[in-house]
Structure 1
Amino acid sequence: MSTPEPYLPGPSPALSQSDQDALTDLYVRGTPANTLRAYERDLLYVTAWKAARCGAALDWPESETTALAFILDHARNLNDATEKDVARETAEALIAQGLRRSLACPAPSTLDRRIASWLAFHRMKNLPSPFEAPQVKQARAKARRAAARPPAPKSQHPITRDILELLLATCRGSRRDCRDRALLMLGWASGGRRRSELTGLRREDVSLKEFDKTGLVWLSLLETKTTAKGETPRLVLKGRAAQALVHWIEVGEIQDGPLFRPVSKADRVLSRRLSPDAIAQIVRHRLKLAGLPDDFASPHGLRSGFLTQAALDGAPIQAAMRLSLHRSMAQAQKYYDDVDIAENPATDLLG
């Protein structure tokens, strides 16, 4: 993927061209692909917003007035604004371009992410950011508080073991079925893997050396959201999950390269990797085949379902976290709290 200019460090007169090129290469190699994609979306949005709002291109550095206007435009429900309101007119222009969904006030996390990207672009160019100005920082904090709402779950329902079994029952005997069975089992049993972690796995990351003797399969994730390259511990698969993965490797004839790949309508395994969106499509497809609404759960349901099931089965949270690789005990504890409160004897006091 090409890397647009605002992502890159600004030119420095103190650096030679070769050093400047090396610095640019360092930025590209040191920025995760998912972050680059988020940068691209956010840059497109803020560029279109300023063009519609001010009739001008982005400035480097941007003015505090523009930064403040950006916050104010995204800190209220524009359905209540008059048709001549400049913020509403700007939002309608963005909706027409497919960059904004509605006139409703965006989630605070969305505003925070776009501002963080905009701030990062300034930092990359070694420029002061308008979002660091006291008035702008205060407005941002007030906007966050005013729009505060309970965080929406990433998956409507957790995919607990009983739901997972329903999905697995839809996987018959085709190569696509073998792939989906292995993907769902690995995604759930290895600790609830994220979509990017599943699509990033390569055959070289899977060790089958102990499978024939112990039935264990070892996985090496390059990196995760909470661990850097080289710091991610090896994960283990055993039992049915290990057998399903080995079967997929054999059926798909996966010798090297991406572990999970598209399968054509003719049931032929392709050489490229699955995209993260394909994981979502697989989950929706299996839910539908299992007789559940296709929006019953998202791929994150594998992660939340693993931790929920661990809590239901009484597994220590520390043991579950060693597989899920949660960095925050508080984050993982939420899944245990939901189970604990349902089993709390104090909830039966009324009889």
Structure 2
Amino acid sequence: MPLPLIPGSALSSDDEAALTDLYRRGTPANTLRAWESDLAYIAAWKQAVYARPLAWPEDETVALRFLLHHAEDLTGATGPARDAAEALIAQGLRRALTPPAPSTLDRRIASWRAFHRMRNLPSPFSAPLVQQARQKARKALARPRRPKSPRPVTREVLTALLASCDDSLRGIRDRSMLTLAFASGGRRRSEVTGLDLADVDLRPFKTRGLIWLRLLETKTTGKGDAPRLPLKGPAARALVHWIETTGLTDGPLFRPVSRSDRVLNRRLAPDALRVILRHRLALAGLPEDFATPHGLRAGFLTQAALDGAPLAAAMALSLHRSAVQAQRYYADVEISANPATDLLGE
């Protein structure tokens, strides 16, 4: 992605290239992909509405109109906002005429602000009128929170999934991936597929049944403070079984397995855990949309709450930065066991 850095600045071409490279190396891959997507969307919207490319810095009236165009349902509307939305839908950049989720709008605005910072320019979204309009848009678009997974993958569900894993290399790999993702704190898809053999410390396993995992980069931590997480019990044994059976010594930890049950010499795609989970749900007799990979993360916290584990202990593994966010999973469990729900008796 070509980052929108300062054109015609006092920087030399070498310094601009070095600065661009620094941004790429210092920014998580998921953020870079989001920036690329948001830049394409914003530029296409500006072209559709004004027939002009983006300006730096952008005018406040453009930022305000962007907010207004994304703060209403355009299904029965006519006019420039509807025309722009249809143009974006035709380009595959927008899904529907209904307004985007507040989180989506917030992310695109955050990206637009970031592009201004890269150019060392003030953002039009800092103007008082635009800030107030943004707050009103957020309230107007508010909707009930939807979970990222229809259901949490708790211990009971995970046990059913693992029962579908046979002794083939594919079954051994899937068992290891699912148990690792759950038991190490509810890891995200990219965190599991991004693991290398070098990130696994097997030395304490023989004496303590313990494995240490190093996560070089997560959504809440960077390479400079890569956390080490313990893996014990069935999850540790499943991981050791996968490594010993395949004879892997370096490179990616989890890899594709061919139809002839051979391990291929490349990394799994970042979305592989979703495909594996859907496959195992079907084999376990559950609907393929029963849960998403985030259900493993939600399931870890839900199971921790059901088992009475302190929230702080669960967060030490899940790596949640916000106790409020992690508490939501505990709240759902705790309120159902609240004695005040039984005031009328059985």
Q: Tell me if both proteins adopt one fold, taking TM over 0.5 as the criterion.
A: yes
Q: For 2:94 and 2:194, how far apart are their aligned partners in 1?
A: 29
- Structure 2 CA distance for partners of 1:314 and 1:135, relative to 1, 3 Å: same
Q: 2:35 aligns with which of 32, 39, 48?
A: 39
Q: Is the 8 A contact 1:172 1:178 kept in 2?
A: yes
Q: For 1:23 and 1:89, how far apart are their aligned partners in 2?
A: 38
Deviation at 1:264, TM superposition (A): 2.0
Q: Give the aligned partner of residue 91 of structure 1.
A: 85
Equivalences, count: 345
Deviation at 1:11, TM superposition (A): 5.2
Q: Please list the CA deviations of residues 191-217 of structure 1 after superposition, one character each: whole Å capped at 9, or x if unmatched.
A: 111112112211000011111222111
1:12 aligns with 2:9: yes
- The letter for the 2-side match of 1:65 is T
Q: 1:139 aligns with which of 133, 150, 155?
A: 133
Q: 1:162 aligns with which of 143, 151, 156?
A: 156
Q: Is the 8 A contact 1:77 1:103 kept in 2?
A: yes
Q: 1:306 aligns with which of 286, 300, 321?
A: 300
Counterpart secondary structure, 1:79: coil
- The letter for the 1-side match of 2:172 is C
Q: Is the 8 A contact 2:193 2:267 kept in 1?
A: yes
Deviation at 1:147, TM superposition (A): 0.7
Deviation at 1:9, TM superposition (A): 5.2
Q: 1:62 aligns with which of 58, 61, 64?
A: 58
Deviation at 1:25, TM superposition (A): 2.2
1:222 aligns with 2:220: no
Deviation at 1:104, TM superposition (A): 0.8
Q: For 1:332 and 1:109, how far apart are their aligned partners in 2?
A: 18
Tell me the C-alpha RMSD between the 2 structures. 1.5
TM-score normalised by the chain length of structure 2: 0.96
Deviation at 1:80, TM superposition (A): 2.6
Which ranges of structure 1 fall in alignment gaps of 5 or more residues?
none
- The letter for the 1-side match of 2:290 is F
Spell out the pairing of 1:154-303 with structure 2 (5 A cutoff).
154-303=148-297
Q: Is the 8 A contact 2:278 2:288 kept in 1?
A: yes
Deviation at 1:124, TM superposition (A): 0.3
Q: For 2:50 and 2:8, how far apart are their aligned partners in 1?
A: 27
1:349 aligns with 2:343: yes
- The letter for the 2-side match of 1:12 is S
Q: Is the 8 A contact 2:216 2:227 kept in 1?
A: no
- The letter for the 2-side match of 1:34 is N
Deviation at 1:5, TM superposition (A): 3.5
- The letter for the 2-side match of 1:209 is R
Deviation at 1:293, TM superposition (A): 1.3
Q: Please list the CA deviations of residues 142-194 of structure 1 after superposition, one character each: whole Å capped at 9, or x if unmatched.
A: 11111111221111100000000111111112211111110000000011111
Deviation at 1:347, TM superposition (A): 0.7
Q: For 1:149 and 1:267, how far apart are their aligned partners in 2?
A: 46
Q: Please list the CA deviations of residues 230-275 of structure 1 after superposition, one character each: whole Å capped at 9, or x if unmatched.
A: 3233111111111110111122332111111122222222222222
- Structure 2 CA distance for partners of 1:248 and 1:137, relative to 1, 3 Å: same
Q: For 2:8 and 2:244, how far apart are their aligned partners in 1?
A: 51
Deviation at 1:16, TM superposition (A): 4.0
Q: Give the aligned partner of residue 49 of structure 2.
A: 53
Q: Please list the CA deviations of residues 295-320 of structure 1 after superposition, one character each: whole Å capped at 9, or x if unmatched.
A: 11111111110110011111111211
- The letter for the 2-side match of 1:311 is A
Deviation at 1:113, TM superposition (A): 0.4
Q: For 1:112 and 1:306, how far apart are their aligned partners in 2?
A: 28
Q: For 1:72 and 1:176, how far apart are their aligned partners in 2?
A: 50
Q: For 2:82 and 2:135, how far apart are their aligned partners in 1?
A: 22
Q: Is the 8 A contact 1:202 1:258 kept in 2?
A: yes
- Give % identity: 68
Deviation at 1:228, TM superposition (A): 2.4
Q: Is the 8 A contact 1:321 1:332 kept in 2?
A: yes
Which ranges of structure 2 fall in alignment gaps of 5 or more residues?
none
Q: For 2:8 and 2:313, how far apart are their aligned partners in 1?
A: 48
- The letter for the 1-side match of 2:62 is T
Q: Give the aligned partner of residue 335 of structure 1.
A: 329
Q: Please list the CA deviations of residues 54-79 of structure 1 after superposition, one character each: whole Å capped at 9, or x if unmatched.
A: 22211122222221111111000111
Q: For 1:61 and 1:262, how far apart are their aligned partners in 2?
A: 46
Q: Is the 8 A contact 1:188 1:306 kept in 2?
A: yes
1:149 aligns with 2:143: yes
- The letter for the 2-side match of 1:27 is Y
Counterpart secondary structure, 1:309: helix
- Structure 2 CA distance for partners of 1:78 and 1:258, relative to 1, 3 Å: same
- The letter for the 1-side match of 2:232 is K
